[in-house]
Structure 1
């Protein structure tokens, strides 16, 4: 039987984040809290960095819900809704929620690196990379 009252807290220093997690082209994911790093059972947390003038590949995160907090830069989150490309333009302090299985990508049209903190409802960094979702003929709307 586990003694939860005496289980120690875990401290993950920013300089100790691991890149040993699933990656998507055009971005770098760094893992902080996971089953692998601290033995978490219900949450994955880390950072994503997108260089200036870069777009990630299209992907989704399986059954995991994903919450995103924008730390720096102005990343754009792109997804399709009813055949229309939707673009959520963000700034530092904004939050984004990505439901399970929703294909999307991150873009950074700015001149500075975009950094976000990510939390997922899984102990693993689930990433399913996809072929391009959007075609030249897709209608676009910006939020």
Structure 2
């Protein structure tokens, strides 16, 4: 995860439900889909991370800061549980990533000359598109 941010397994709450989709006769008997519930506001995350997570636009995060992830791609309950944890970590990494602020710099002389040369070439191209006039003489 991110530096300074750690999660405890005790903060994750799992429940198991019946998975959707094909699965044969066995699908209606077992609850293999894992539903992960993570209450970010009552977790060990730092306060800045909790605020950032609340502002992050994702359908899996409620207004109260509850993260719900349903994993049902595997027939194994344990694999679905691991998949849900992996997806939670990926979501937190995306939501808590802070880009470096850009330092404003002045354009170099070479880049200014390249820009002006490109503008001159475009100007000449457009001037050559004019009507063709026949000279009488």
TM-score, scaled relative to structure 2:
0.25
More RCO (CA 8 Å, sep 6+): 1
When Rg is computed on C-alpha atoms for both structures, the one with the higher figure is 2
Larger fraction in strand? 1
Q: Higher helix share goes to which structure?
A: 2
